[in-house]
């Protein structure tokens, strides 16, 4: 646990008592603060009270009279589409609003670090797609190199729930736009921006607000090194804002699909080969084509980002290459679950938006595509012209018929996962891939993308026995 400092003897309100909220309350108590907790869910309040925390209805008049700060869980809106009433009450009362990420960065460094030979380092990764894979891949690389490393944030444990990093320790964080938008303190040593595509637009009042939330990690934090994916205009703009000139190697530009030229520090992947260039000269090269845990151009982009971050931390190219070869992949992210009679079955349930689904589809030559669910803002227009590898789509979800009508490929309305898997298996030929890449959220039929992916795996395994 990372005890939270700076609130000794003070009352600190905690709104939202899920994983991060309860971890925050525990860390505040460990730092000698008094957490005042609230969640609209009675069961969540009961769990908190079971750990000895005080719960107070913060909606009521005077709820913030003796409160030093309000700490908000990521899923709770503080501005758009409308502020949560408790957040608005805190702001009206002049009470600062923060989140667990802000508390982490203000508390992780302690006087004990003065005695370390090597100061711990924090790597923070944000972007639209590939964050989890990039974080897990970097964690795997560092662990393979014998480093003391932990991953947290949107993946693994809550940021305040990890162990304090020791001498030379490294913490790798996955940060969503919900987290970067609100945190009052962000000071990573290395910050990574993977890419940008439309997502969470209602929460950020449009694409500009969404990008602004991501950008805060770099503008507010001032990392020593920044790894920036430059395959979209926003990444090019961000890299330009951070760089002091063409040769400024504090900014590492990353691309998948095109060669990056110039005298700066560049890492890119083309035709399955990763290349590193510094000062116009090649410094490293890795063949990614046979690495089963990293299929497709989108995963090659993730590999470039993780490689670049590992290089900033002092690892040699050959050491990184060995770790990439043994990376097993993450559940629900381009996860190969079976290969039978020449048909491959891949679970990419995490492809919850159109951009991530397009990238998943491009990774395989002939696809039986299981898709559908709760559409996100922006619709499915961006899928058109991107489905050339699809032999047929099998659509699930409560609005499966409407979803299928928007596709530019042959589509069968299946409704549920069992029917979709059954039909895809019946139609699949040798050399094809049955791919779950929904291009939609899961919440119309499942509690999470993990539950959806688990259902896909279970249905496949049932029929392949």
Task: Enumerate the domain spans of the chain.
Answer: 11-98, 106-325, 335-464
CATH of domain 11-98: 3.40.50.720
101 neighbors 186 (Cβ within 8 angstroms)? yes
Q: What is the pLDDT of residue 421?
A: 98
- Judge whether 126 is annotated as a binding position: no
Residue 421's Cβ-count burial label (10 Å; 0-12, 13-18, 19+) is: buried
The single residue listed with the structure tokens 């030093």 is 68
Distances (CA, A) of 361 to 353, 383, 399: 12, 10, 22
Question: How far apart are the C-alpha atoms of 126 and 250, rounded to whole Å?
Answer: 18
Task: Output the CA torsion 208→209→214→220 (10° steps).
Answer: 110
Return the CATH fold of 106-325. 3.40.1190
Low-confidence ranges of the chain (pLDDT < 70): none
- Judge whether 229 is annotated as a binding position: no
Question: How far apart are the C-alpha atoms of 33 and 10, rounded to whole Å?
Answer: 5
Q: What is the pLDDT of residue 379?
A: 81
Do 106-325 and 335-464 agree at the fold level?
Answer: no
DSSP string, 328-389: --BTTBSEEEEEETTEEEEE-TT--SHHHHHHHHHTSSSEEEEE-SBPPTTTTGGGTT--TT
Record the tokens describing residue 142, joined without a space.
Answer: 């560092």
147-181: pLDDT as tens digits: 999 999 988 789 999 999 999 999 999 999 999 99
> Please, what sign has the CA dihedral across residues 448, 79, 13, 179?
positive
pTM: 0.85
Going by C-alpha positions, the residue among 438, 415, 412 that lies closest to residue 424 is: 412
- Judge whether 133 is annotated as a binding position: yes
- Judge whether 177 is annotated as a binding position: no
Residue 83's Cβ-count burial label (10 Å; 0-12, 13-18, 19+) is: middle
Quickly count: other Cβ atoms within 10 Å of residue 245's Cβ: 8
Q: What is the pLDDT of residue 104?
A: 98
Q: What is the pLDDT of residue 221?
A: 76
Q: What is the pLDDT of residue 48?
A: 96
Distances (CA, A) of 388 to 249, 250, 371, 409, 414: 39, 39, 15, 8, 21
- Judge whether 60 is annotated as a binding position: no
Record the tokens describing residue 385, joined without a space.
Answer: 């012209």
The single residue listed with the structure tokens 């009961």 is 46
Record the tokens describing residue 51, joined without a space.
Answer: 């750990």
201-228: pLDDT as tens digits: 899 999 999 999 999 999 987 899 999 9
Quickly count: other Cβ atoms within 10 Å of residue 22's Cβ: 24
- Judge whether 128 is annotated as a binding position: yes
- Judge whether 132 is annotated as a binding position: yes
Q: What is the pLDDT of residue 94?
A: 97
Record the tokens describing residue 73, joined without a space.
Answer: 């869980």
Question: How far apart are the C-alpha atoms of 181 and 128, rounded to whole Å?
Answer: 14
Going by C-alpha positions, the residue among 462, 452, 177, 255 that lies closest to residue 335 is: 452
Q: Which CATH number fits domain 335-464: 1.10.10.10, 3.90.190.20, 3.30.565.10, 3.10.20.30?
A: 3.90.190.20
Bridge partners, residue 277, by sequence: 266, 282
């Amino acid at each position: 646990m990372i005890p939270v400092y700076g609130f000794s003897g003070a009352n600190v309100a905690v709104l939202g008592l899920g994983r991060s909220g309860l971890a925050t309350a525990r860390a505040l108590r460990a730092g000698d603060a008094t957490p005042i907790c609230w969640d609209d869910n009675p069961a969540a309040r009961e769990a908190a009270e079971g750990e000895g925390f005080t719960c107070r209805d913060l909606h009521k008049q005077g709820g913030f009279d003796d409160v030093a700060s309000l700490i908000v869980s990521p899923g709770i809106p503080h501005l758009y589409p409308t502020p949560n009433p408790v957040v608005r009450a805190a702001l009206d009362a002049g009470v600062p609003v923060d989140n667990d990420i802000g508390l982490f960065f203000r508390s992780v460094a302690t006087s004990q670090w003065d005695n370390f030979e090597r100061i711990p380092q924090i790597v923070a990764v944000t972007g639209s797609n590939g964050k989890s894979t990039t974080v897990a891949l970097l964690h795997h690389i560092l662990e393979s190199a014998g480093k003391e490393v932990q991953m947290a944030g949107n993946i693994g444990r809550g940021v305040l729930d990890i162990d304090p990093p020791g001498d030379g320790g490294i913490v790798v964080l996955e940060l969503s736009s919900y987290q970067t938008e609100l945190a009052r303190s962000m000071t990573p040593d290395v910050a990574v921006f993977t890419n940008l595509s439309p997502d969470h637009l209602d929460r950020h009042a449009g694409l500009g607000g969404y990008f602004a939330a991501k950008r805060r990690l770099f503008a507010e934090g001032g990392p020593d090194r920044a790894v920036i994916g430059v395959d979209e205009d926003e990444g090019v703009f961000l890299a330009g804002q951070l760089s002091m000139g063409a040769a400024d190697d504090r900014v590492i530009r990353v691309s998948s699909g095109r060669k990056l030229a110039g005298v700066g520090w560049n890492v890119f992947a083309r035709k399955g080969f990763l290349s590193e260039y510094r000062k116009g000269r090649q410094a490293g090269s890795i063949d990614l084509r046979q690495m089963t845990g990293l299929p497709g151009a989108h995963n090659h982009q993730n590999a470039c980002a993780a490689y670049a971050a590992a290089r900033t931390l002092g690892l040699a190219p050959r050491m990184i290459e060995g770790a990439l070869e043994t990376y097993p992949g993450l559940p629900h992210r381009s996860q190969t679950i079976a290969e039978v009679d020449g048909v491959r079955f891949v679970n990419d349930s995490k492809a919850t938006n159109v951009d991530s689904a397009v990238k998943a589809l491009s990774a395989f030559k002939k696809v039986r595509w299981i898709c559908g669910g709760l559409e996100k803002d922006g619709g499915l227009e961006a899928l058109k012209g991107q489905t050339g590898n699809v032999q047929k789509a099998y659509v699930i979800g409560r609005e499966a018929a409407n979803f299928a009508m928007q596709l530019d490929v042959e589509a069968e309305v299946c409704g549920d996962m069992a029917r979709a898997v059954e039909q895809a298996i019946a139609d699949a030929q040798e050399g094809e891939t049955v791919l779950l890449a929904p291009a939609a959220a899961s919440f119309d039929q499942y509690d999470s993308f993990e539950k959806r992916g688990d259902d896909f795996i279970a249905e496949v395994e049932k029929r392949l026995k």
